[in-house]
Chain A
Amino acid sequence: MSLEKKDEYDRRGWMETKELSPVEKGYLMTLMWLDKRLRVVDYLELLEDLYYKVNMQMPKSHTEQYNLDNKFWYWYPLYALGSFSTIAYVVAAISGALLGFYYSPAAAAASGDPTVAYESIAFIMTDLNFGYMLRSIHRWSAQVMVAAVFLHMLRVYFTGAYKEPRELNWIIGIVLISLTMVFGYSGYLLPWDQLAFWAGQIGVEMSLSIPLAGEWVAQLLFGGFTLTQATLQRMYILHVFFLPFITTALIAVHIGIVWMQGIAEPH
């Protein structure tokens, strides 16, 4: 008596009756392996069901909808600005992650001696192979992203693409541009050089001047009423952890809504 459990449905026998190429065989084996463990077939049935009920189709691209195939639509670059800003965001994210391997937000006394943060940036710029290029790419893609986002906002504004039913997307866009600027601001403070320090000083004064919650906001964002190590730490965590999650999620929602609603078109 072998201990091998007898296959209830004799799948192997079934597979042998068909003549399968090795690729097909490998595919089927993988599928059955996954199905046994994850009930993949249920999900496929669900999708099929949805397809016939909802008549799920790929949304038509511009050229399909508006019959633009043989025409050169010279406004197209303006409509590509949204995608462009997402590409720049991805480039900034990748280069930022790589920079994070070499940067450390530490020892932020502000006495005129270079701190560890400053030294790490100097190391990146001078000693690290292609370090200057990496930092340069990060800064430039960030600038380009802000510019693209702003121009995208202008395009949406002047083509009236924020009107019903796209108001929610407009508001999400406003939040996104504000988040982008906060991204830029927090990144600006990270090198802890003179420009960064005094820009941070202005930020603290701005938060302190908020009428009722001023001190709390200053404490939350800047870790105190003066610029210390706590400030640098908070800016780092904002820039590297907090903001990327929120921004990525919001970008996904923003693009998802555009996918569902379609692009507003000048008629």
Chain B
Amino acid sequence: MRSLSAGLGLLLVVAFILSLLAGRVWLAPPDIVFGHNVLASLIVTDLRLPRSILALLVGASLGLSGAVLQGLTRNPLAEPALLGVSTGAALGAVLAIYFGVTMISGAAGPLLGLVGALAACALTFSLGQGGGTITLVLAGAAVSSLTAAGIALALNFAPSPYAAYEIMNWLLGSLADKSWNQVWLILPFVLVGGAFLFTTGPALDALSLGETQAESLGIDLSRLRIAAIAGTALAVGAATSVTGAIGFIGLVAPHLARPFVGHQPSRILLPAALLGALLLLVADIAARLVHLGPELKLGVFTSLIGTPFFFWLVVRLKRTSP
């Protein structure tokens, strides 16, 4: 696991540097290091650095949370959106746009998004509590449907075509036009949420044997569920509230890491977080470099490259299951 994580870390550094250089204006490495070029320094410190750091935070949150939720539910199709977190955050942010709160303060969208994510998670948890993991997943599906209905309603009654356009734009997911404000806003939530998620390792391992055996091994299942849900709500909720919905990273990253670490759930956590960050960073670089007229939204791009993976997953499941 160590060599895998070290290798991923190295790739991440390379991708990060590339992310600072690449874009509509290509920069040369000396421009970043020495800062002779004032315009280049501005581009890097004000635009590309916060954008790249956001990509790291958001990608790592998605990958880590996906790994924890797949371990918790022992379902290979589980991902952060499962608990209603993503759509909850989306609903919060959409309502902020709908009621024009975003005009007053730029932080209103993310803040309301975070509130939406936490509220959706609290609802999922209180609804599915005490009924085991399957009930929890069903509760998450129910809450997702509810929040999705709320988003559709907001689109339906959007006060102006411009608001509808803004909502649609936000829903597609993007890292464009992000600043340090958003980085500082989500950083504490991502760190605390990530810490919660990382504590679940040993319990997820024991859960490989099913809930009864995990309990017999001294695992507190309700505490595990709380850590997984709270961690996802904080980390992914904060991430989604800034960037909009970004699909498939949370689903794909754990799967890519799994075969390299002997499928042990606790050993997937760190590589999945690193892979999530790497995938999102690379996707963002690619989205910046593709010029097809309007900007290619990051969420659209990850969905485009993630969907074939979903197909492959289904085909493989069909082949391996009896």
Chains A and B come from one and the same complex: no
